[in-house]
Chain A
Amino acid sequence: MAEAHPVGFQWVMEAKKRGAKVFHVDPRFTRTSALADTYLPIRAGTDIALLGGVVRYILENQLDFREYVLAYTNAANIVSEQFADTEDLDGLFSGYNPDTGSYDHASWQYDGQEGNATVRGTGKERDSASGLEHESHGEPVPARAPRDETLQHPRCVYQILKRHFSRYTPEMVARVCGIPEERFLELARAWTENSGRERTGALVYSVGWTQHSVGVQYIRTGSIIQTLLGNMGRPGGGILALRGHASIQGSTDIPTLFNLLPGYLPMPHHADHPTFDEWVDSIRHPGQKGFWGDSRAFAASLLKAYWGDAATPENDFCYGYMPRMTGDHGTYQQVLNMIDGRVKGYFLLGQNPAVGSAHGRAQRLGMANLDWLVVRDLFMIESATFWKNGPEVATGEIVPEECRTEVFFLPAASHVEKEGTFTQTQRLLQWREKAVDAPGDARSELWFFYHLGRVLREKLAGSTQRRDRALLDLAWDYPTHGPHAEPSAEAVLKEINGYEVATGRPLGVFTEARDDGSTAIGCWIYSGVYADGVNQAARRRPRHEQDWVAAEWGWAWPANRRTLYNRASADPDGRPWSERKKYVWWDPDAGEWTGYDVPDFEKTKPPSYRPPEGASGPAALAGDDPFIMQGDGKAWLYAPGGVLDGPLPTHYEPAESPMRNPLYGQQANPTRKIYEHPINRMNPSPPEPHSQVFPYVFTVSRLTEHHTAGGMSRTVPRLAELQPEMFVEVSPELAGEVGLAHLGWAHLISGRAVIEARVLVTDRLTPLRVDGRIIHQVWLPYHFGTEGLVTGDSANDLFGITLDPNVLIQESKVGTCDIRPGRRPTGPSLLDLVGDYQRRAGMTPDRKVPVVTTDAAGGDDAAGSTDEQSAAAHQDGEPHA
């Protein structure tokens, strides 16, 4: 946190000053470790084993916040007797289908609900990253499930959790993670001792956590701990994701993502959502508890904002114009399609995949096979010059005279040359005022896309093609100003907020949304940001003039709530859990919820409220159901659906690992997304042979002095001089083993690429003792590329492409490699070196990566034919198949 979010770290220092104990877990000793009370070096890719150890510690010692757990979670729910755990199936859950590499969730349901109509095979959900859709809402579940409030039933969630994590002992943590037992226990003790009624503990992760083939389950393990300890929805608690771009939260809420529409509405799927009603019902799940019950109004209002007058209740608000997904259209699938020549044009908008995305070579070769590429950026970045300066030009793979891609570089306006809102990592929108005009041809994206749309519509005027109706009917009238006809960002914000169509009155809150076409809302969760016609995101009441919640600085979605699910900061009766930790509570005299924050609950619904039989939507939420976006109002320790790789987190080895999984026969996530493409060869891991060709673990992350792919830091002398060269950090032990000299050169080889870096030998890296052997890890910054004031090879070139099944995010925080002293070869001989390693590791073009590595019937670990293994798992891994 001190390393990549230094200004946020001031609050950790404040907490420390007040006596908080700070633990830092990282493969390398960073600037955060230097200030932490305890640092735990960990083998990259083993966080679930560590956190699972904490879960076990809590349960074995009965250290959970029992009142909270009973009232606010699904701990007491009883799960179907058809459910089989990884303990039973050697690392698989029941319902696994090896043909699709995905699970049927029927057996994961609560007792008696196996026939829940929404349960399906989940291969399709994986391809459309529907896990991401659940960022703000859970999978549907029936409101009532059988429960055992004593938590004794052998199939209640609490007991299942206990069994599932029973093997995550301190010894196992040491064996898997390389964290000595005593150090692990120090963490577990401190975490539990500082949680409960009087105290709360916070979990902060950087989004490297998401860059694993089990990334979503990393975060779920953290959630399970924080829920068991009663740290959710309470001050000083929670889970904070440290996101890395100024408005990456905003670009998820108002998604420039293929599978989502604004406000986490799903992009329609051709088979599931042929009609408006089917689309809407798949979101609101008729009969379901919670605020998604109103999603027909959110969906209708979005389409009304898109197609204006043309969108009417009679024509389903132009739903027929919406493009439909058929599968995986994610960025990595796109890149492979580019290599295969299926994509014509590509826009890069302030993003530099040649350096910042996994498998840089695939990125660049993809771009070299386009008809045209549009790059909009402040500086000349590697993704704009791949045809000229990319590493493949040196190897002869890209010859400028033979590369057909037409490239448009359009200069972009900077953050001080335009106005608009960023949404920061805690969902807070802040408006930026414009300071100066952009230089020369530089323009905002607002300008570019508004005028691009205008020109497209002009060119299509009079077209009778059916496909052009959506463009021609689009509501595309925004007021413009100034010599360049800049569109008004405030007008766009007002549309995002939503307004009453008849009067233009901005809506105050999303509960004003209607499904009859009388409201238009660009992003329903942002409703209220323009309440009363006032730009609430531009509020800047100084911090000294308000309390510590600072509710009058900017605006947070939803409804300006600063802490989500804050109803949980009060007990079931609505009283604060403790005076020390009071935040939001029920005021019986006033008959409303009150407190420091905007209550994340219906303001006048008393704690004693119980829904009438047959209620649905918000009315079905009881007065003590704090998790109001969940289908049952509860926090889920166990997910009966919605998480594609299991109802509980399980330690799997990374897709590339030098180790056999010490916990199960199943080596890696059996549902991870694998792309079998000639360019995407994954290094072998046990039980496959030849993993020793790549004996070292490498991980990458940020330096304080640089930003992401370097486009905004390697171009700035003030920053470039502070970290002027690509380097690799190695422990003295590894330096001795391989023969690396401080400040000398080394090159690193994976099955995709070879890169070189200067060597920093440092005590901050340590070998780890893991499962009886010594594992060496090296660390690299991923900021470098061929353009800018300071240049170097790109660490992301080393990675292959393997994705988390829930959100299709790549595993780019851990891989295996070899490291050698000296500089890498140049020219075509560089390819020979990679080819040599591929040969030695058996990475032939026709090799299939084994997905299922367990014979749950008790066979031996096996690599070899995937098909045979899959068949075995199919028979033995699905008791009710």
Chain B
Amino acid sequence: MPDANSLYGPLDPAPDAGWVSAPPRMGFFTDTSVCIGCKACEVACKEWNGVPDSGFDLLGMSYDNTGALTANSWRHVAFIEQPRPAGHRTPPFAGDPTGPATSPASATAGAVTAADTGTNPGLPPGQPEAAALMAAGPEFLGMPGARPPGRGTGAESRTDFRWLMMSDVCKHCTHAACLDVCPTGSLFRTEFGTVVVQEDICNGCGYCISACPYGVIDQRKDDGRAWKCTLCYDRIGAGMTPACAQACPTESIQYGPLDELRERAARRVTALHERGVPEARLYGHDPTDGVGGDGAFFLLLDSPEVYGLPPDPVVTTRDLPKMWKRAGLAALAMAAAAVAAFAGGSS
């Protein structure tokens, strides 16, 4: 068991952050196996939290025109079109005269057109030429490196096909580097164990942005402050469900005490495995992972990279205490040396 106030390892973050008799830690379990990609979560979040629009650009990443989690999009539904078998399902195009898979839609391609989202850093700079390469027709298929990940697996036709959808969100890490590095105390741990930017404190220094191992937190260009999912701190404080989970038509987004959600998720994975979906797996549920487990975790149907998630995130402040300790020792040594010097000098 790590020390109290540790920046690494499993612990219950709210009591650790000084909340006496804290309520149970609350979180999200996002089950992508039932997501229908409707984006109600994106809209409900913006309606409740007054989040501005993030630009009117066709991105060409399947039906994803949001692109990424940004200061202006606190939920982001990713769409991944894959020429892969969909587990228990009948191959959708079996018997159809289809050619090799060539479409560009995999979000893993990351071939994003430049869209000004009004946020900073926003989306990575656009590579429309990459997107064009992927779709321009069979003549480009032979080019090494032109294919997005997951393609070019040797399949001669796209008999198999699946369309993955996933609503991404801030992970509300057990060990949240954004919070650790925040110099103003704007980012703080709530009594529910969630991580919230306090808009009245944030001065826009931006340290949190590079600290986030998931690339979630982001600055708004016009006001310079950092914004992200609050897990609807105001709503859950009033005993309500966060806006996205409340809206979700198919219960893909589930809100509740994290312990309960983790049990439910484990049962769901087992059930899917029994139904012939061996690829079902959890992501971010494990308290022993690099961020001490996420407050918002996922059931995925492919490896995290396919969804644009880091496979093995580690809290960027993991070694901070050790560094401080070393720094402290060094300081003590310096001080001792200084004292010795003075002492020596007086002798």
Residue from the list B34, B57, B103 in contact with A732, Cβ < 8 A = B103
Stretch at the interface among A148-156, A439-447, A639-647, A740-748: A740-748
Tell me if A186 is interfacial: C-beta within 8 Å of chain B: yes
Tell me if B144 is interfacial: C-beta within 8 Å of chain A: no
Q: Is the CB of B250 within 8 A of A13?
A: yes
Q: Is the CB of A732 within 8 A of B135?
A: yes
Shortest CB distance B66–A (Å)? 7
Shortest CB distance A722–B (Å)? 6
Contact flag A31-B56 (CB < 8 Å), given A9-B250, A743-B131, A763-B83:
no
Q: Is the CB of B46 within 8 A of A718?
A: yes
A9 CA / B36 CA spacing, docked (Å):
9
Tell me if A353 is interfacial: C-beta within 8 Å of chain B: no
A13 CA / B62 CA spacing, docked (Å):
23
Contacts of B135 in A (CB 8 A): 732, 735, 741-743, 759, 761
Q: Is the CB of B38 within 8 A of A2?
A: yes
Shortest CB distance A189–B (Å)? 12
Stretch at the interface among B159-167, B206-214, B282-290: B159-167
Q: Is the CB of B57 within 8 A of A762?
A: no
Contacts of A741 in B (CB 8 A): 132, 135-137
A211 CA / B93 CA spacing, docked (Å):
26
Contact flag A733-B98 (CB < 8 Å), given A6-B38, A10-B249:
yes
CB contacts under 8 Å to B, within A696-743, are 703-705, 717-725, 727, 731-733, 735-736, 739, 741-743
Tell me if B299 is interfacial: C-beta within 8 Å of chain A: no
A283 CA / B190 CA spacing, docked (Å):
69
> Which among B57, B96, B102 has the highest number of chain A CB atoms within 10 Å?
B96
Contacts of A743 in B (CB 8 A): 58, 60, 113, 128, 131-132, 135
Contacts of A9 in B (CB 8 A): 36, 249-250
B-contact 0/1 string along A166-189, CB 8 Å cutoff: 000000000000101111001000
Q: Is the CB of A742 within 8 A of B56?
A: no
CB contacts under 8 Å to A, within B35-52, are 36-40, 42-43, 46-47
Q: Is the CB of B104 within 8 A of A6?
A: no
Q: Is the CB of A725 within 8 A of B58?
A: yes
Q: Is the CB of B65 within 8 A of A721?
A: yes
Tell me if B154 is interfacial: C-beta within 8 Å of chain A: no
Tell me if A790 is interfacial: C-beta within 8 Å of chain B: yes
A767 CA / B81 CA spacing, docked (Å):
17
Contact flag A29-B161 (CB < 8 Å), given A9-B250, A10-B250, A37-B90:
yes
CB contacts under 8 Å to B, within A756-795, are 758-764, 766-769, 774, 789-790
A739 CA / B54 CA spacing, docked (Å):
32
Contacts of A768 in B (CB 8 A): 96-97
Shortest CB distance B342–A (Å)? 67
Q: Is the CB of B62 within 8 A of A719?
A: no
Tell me if A215 is interfacial: C-beta within 8 Å of chain B: no
Tell me if A39 is interfacial: C-beta within 8 Å of chain B: yes
Q: Is the CB of B103 within 8 A of A762?
A: yes
Tell me if B158 is interfacial: C-beta within 8 Å of chain A: yes
A573 CA / B89 CA spacing, docked (Å):
41
Contacts of B37 in A (CB 8 A): 2, 31, 34, 704
CB contacts under 8 Å to A, within B67-100, are 81, 83, 88-90, 92-100
Residue from the list A37, A727, A764, A789 in contact with B56, Cβ < 8 A = A789
Tell me if A235 is interfacial: C-beta within 8 Å of chain B: no
Tell me if A558 is interfacial: C-beta within 8 Å of chain B: no
Shortest CB distance A456–B (Å)? 42
Q: Is the CB of B88 within 8 A of A37?
A: yes
Tell me if B53 is interfacial: C-beta within 8 Å of chain A: yes
Residue of B nearest to A717 (CB): B53
Contact flag A742-B60 (CB < 8 Å), given A37-B88, A764-B81, A767-B97:
yes
Contacts of B249 in A (CB 8 A): 6-7, 9-10
Contacts of B62 in A (CB 8 A): 762
Contact flag A758-B58 (CB < 8 Å), given A34-B162, A37-B90:
yes
Q: Is the CB of A29 within 8 A of B163?
A: yes
Tell me if B124 is interfacial: C-beta within 8 Å of chain A: no
Tell me if B55 is interfacial: C-beta within 8 Å of chain A: yes
Q: Is the CB of A720 within 8 A of B56?
A: yes
Q: Is the CB of B163 within 8 A of A34?
A: yes
A183 CA / B93 CA spacing, docked (Å):
10
Contacts of B99 in A (CB 8 A): 732-733, 736
A222 CA / B98 CA spacing, docked (Å):
29
Contacts of B102 in A (CB 8 A): 732, 735-736, 761, 763
Q: Is the CB of B96 within 8 A of A41?
A: yes
Q: Is the CB of A744 within 8 A of B132?
A: yes
> Which among B66, B81, B102 has the highest number of chain A CB atoms within 10 Å?
B102
Q: Is the CB of A721 within 8 A of B54?
A: yes
Contacts of B176 in A (CB 8 A): none
CB contacts under 8 Å to B, within A779-834, are 789-790
| 17 sampled A-B residue pairs with Cβ under 8 A | A9-B249, A9-B250, A10-B250, A36-B89, A39-B90, A41-B96, A183-B90, A722-B42, A727-B58, A732-B99, A732-B100, A741-B137, A742-B60, A742-B103, A742-B131, A766-B98, A790-B56
Q: A9-B249, A721-B53 are in contact. List 7 more A-B contacts (CB 8 A).
A: A32-B36, A39-B90, A722-B66, A732-B137, A762-B105, A763-B161, A766-B98
Interface residues of A (CB under 8 A from B): 2, 6-7, 9-10, 13, 29, 31-39, 41, 178, 180-183, 186, 703-705, 717-725, 727, 731-733, 735-736, 739, 741-744, 758-764, 766-769, 774, 789-790
The 6 tightest CB contacts between A and B, nearest first, are A742-B135, A180-B95, A732-B102, A724-B56, A761-B135, A725-B58
